[in-house]
Amino acid sequence: MSVLTKEQIERLRNASYKIVGKHKHSAVKLCTWLKKSIRTGGKKFCYKQKFYGIACHRCLQMTPALPFCTLSCLFCWRDTRINNPKWINGYDKAEALVEEAIHAQKALLTGLGGVEHSEKHLKEAFEPKHAAISLDGEPCLYPEISQLIEAFSTKGFTTFLVTNGTLPEVLEKISLPTQLYVSMSSCDEEMFKKINRPLLSGLWEKYLETLELLPSLSTRRVIRLTLYKLNAKSPEKYAKLILKAEPDFIEVKAAMAVGFARIQNRFKYEDMLKHDEIKSFSERIADLTSYNIIDEKKDSRVVLLSKKKDAKLKF
Query: Is there a contact between 147 and 135 (Cβ–Cβ < 8 Å)?
Result: no
State how many domains the chain has.
1
Asked, for residue 83, whether it belongs to a domain, the answer is: yes
Looking at residue 180, what is its pLDDT? 98
Q: Coil, helix or strand for 83?
A: coil
The answer on pLDDT for 290 being more than 70 is: yes
Binned at pLDDT 50, 70 and 90, residue 261 comes out as low
292 alpha carbon, distance to own chain's centre: 23
The answer on pLDDT for 116 being more than 90 is: no
DSSP code per residue over 37-76: HHHHTTSS--HHHHHH---GGGEEEEES-TTB-SB--TT-
Looking at residue 243, what is its pLDDT? 98
Convert the pLDDT of each residue in 94-112 to its tens digit: 999 999 999 999 999 997 7
Asked, for residue 312, whether it belongs to a domain, the answer is: no
Please report which helix (H) or strand (E) contains residue 300, including its range.
none
Looking at residue 79, what is its pLDDT? 77
Looking at residue 269, what is its pLDDT? 81
Q: What letter does residue 303 receive in the DSSP assignment?
A: E
The overall average pLDDT reported for the chain is 92
What's 12's domain CATH number? Answer: 3.20.20.70
Asked, for residue 311, whether it belongs to a domain, the answer is: no
Looking at residue 77, what is its pLDDT? 77
Binned at pLDDT 50, 70 and 90, residue 82 comes out as confident
Asked, for residue 1, whether it belongs to a domain, the answer is: no
The answer on pLDDT for 232 being more than 90 is: yes
Looking at residue 275, what is its pLDDT? 97
Report percent pLDDT > 70 for the chain. Answer: 95
The region of weakest confidence among 7-16, 44-53, 263-272, 275-284 is 263-272
Looking at residue 182, what is its pLDDT? 98
Asked, for residue 230, whether it belongs to a domain, the answer is: yes
Query: Is there a contact between 167 and 138 (Cβ–Cβ < 8 Å)?
Result: yes
Q: What is the mean pLDDT of residues 246-253?
A: 97
Provide the domain limits for residue 147.
6-306
Binned at pLDDT 50, 70 and 90, residue 311 comes out as low
pTM above 0.85, yes or no: yes
Written as one letter, the residue type at 209 is E
The answer on pLDDT for 262 being more than 90 is: no
Q: Coil, helix or strand for 34?
A: helix
**Residues 6 or more apart in contact with residue 130 via CB below 8 angstroms:** 54, 55, 58, 59, 60, 157, 158, 159, 160
Asked, for residue 274, whether it belongs to a domain, the answer is: yes
Q: What is the spatial distance between Cα 284 and Cα 220, in angstroms, rounded to a whole number? A: 23
Closest-CA residue to 196 (of 67, 68, 74):
74
From the CA atom positions of the chain, what is the Rg in Å?
Answer: 19
Asked, for residue 127, whether it belongs to a domain, the answer is: yes
Sign of CA dihedral 135, 136, 137, 143: negative
Q: What is the spatial distance between Cα 250 and Cα 285, in angstroms, rounded to a whole number? A: 9
Binned at pLDDT 50, 70 and 90, residue 244 comes out as very high
Binned at pLDDT 50, 70 and 90, residue 160 comes out as very high
**Residues 6 or more apart in contact with residue 274 via CB below 8 angstroms:** 254, 301
Query: Is there a contact between 267 and 74 (Cβ–Cβ < 8 Å)?
Result: yes
Asked, for residue 315, whether it belongs to a domain, the answer is: no
